[in-house]
């Protein structure tokens, strides 16, 4: 049972977060635009919550694209390289992603902790904490590291078996 849960999370975590955050963000914007122009009213937090929800959409979207191997690839160039060079590029990609992720996690964790420590509240609300939204960045970048390591493991398996690498990935599963 636990294995099925982890498998589902591995397959769907980013999609679930995106498909929850994005409609909520869109609904808030849509409802508040109508309220603003029809009733001359607006909830005070309607301009801040969607922006903060966008953090969840963007960073978990980046993680999903890393998982699918559609994020920042130069496939046309790599396809023309010798097999060993393709593998070396996959390793360099993984090292670069992990190094960048560590930097992002370090600084965004610091920002998140400052918001937590200072009891920073989302503008227009009385008790919605900013750090709840800021946690998206270090969490998603931690997930990016996990996805990079998953892909690197697959690359090592392919290299060991002399099989071609997945250079032309598709966003559609």
Share the mean pLDDT of the chain.
Answer: 92
The low-confidence residues of the chain, meaning pLDDT below 70, are: 72, 168-173
The token pair that represents 91 in the structure block: 């390793």
Instruction: Please tell me the predicted confidence (pLDDT) of residue 77.
Output: 79
Instruction: Please tell me the predicted confidence (pLDDT) of residue 132.
Output: 96
Q: Are 155 and 90 in contact (CB under 8 A)?
A: yes
Instruction: Please tell me the predicted confidence (pLDDT) of residue 69.
Output: 86
pTM score, two decimals? 0.89
Contacts of 59 (CB under 8 A, 6+ apart): 136, 137, 139, 140, 141
Output helix, strand, coil percentages for the chain, rounded to the nearest 5: 75, 0, 25
pLDDT digits (tens, 9 = 90+) for 127-148: 999 999 999 999 999 999 999 9
Domain ranges in the chain are 2-160
Instruction: Please tell me the predicted confidence (pLDDT) of residue 92.
Output: 92
Alpha carbons 28 and 7: distance in angstroms, whole number = 32
How would DSSP label each residue in 132-169? HHHTHHHHHHHHHHHHHHHHHHHHHHHHHTTPPP--S-
Burial class (CB in 10 A: 0-12, 13-18, 19+), 63: buried
Closest CA to 78 of 69, 63, 100, 67: 69
Alpha carbons 170 and 90: distance in angstroms, whole number = 17
pLDDT digits (tens, 9 = 90+) for 85-112: 999 989 999 999 999 999 999 999 999 9
Instruction: Please tell me the predicted confidence (pLDDT) of residue 170.
Output: 59
């Amino acid at each position: 049972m636990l294995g099925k849960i982890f498998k589902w999370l591995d397959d769907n975590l980013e999609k679930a977060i995106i498909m929850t955050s994005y409609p909520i963000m869109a609904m808030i914007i849509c409802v508040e635009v109508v309220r603003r122009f029809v009733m001359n009213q607006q909830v005070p937090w309607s301009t801040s919550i969607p922006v903060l929800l966008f953090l969840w959409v963007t960073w978990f979207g980046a993680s999903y694209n890393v998982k699918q191997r559609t994020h920042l690839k130069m496939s046309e160039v790599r396809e023309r390289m010798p097999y060993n060079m393709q593998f070396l590029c996959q390793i360099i990609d993984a090292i670069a992603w992990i190094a960048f992720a560590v930097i992002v996690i370090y600084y965004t964790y610091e920002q998140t902790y400052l918001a937590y420590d200072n009891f920073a509240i989302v503008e227009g609300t009385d008790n919605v904490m900013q750090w709840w939204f800021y946690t998206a960045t270090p969490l998603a970048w931690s997930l990016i590291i996990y996805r990079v390591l998953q892909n690197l493991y697959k690359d090592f398996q392919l290299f060991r078996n002399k099989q071609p690498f997945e250079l032309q990935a598709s966003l559609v599963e």
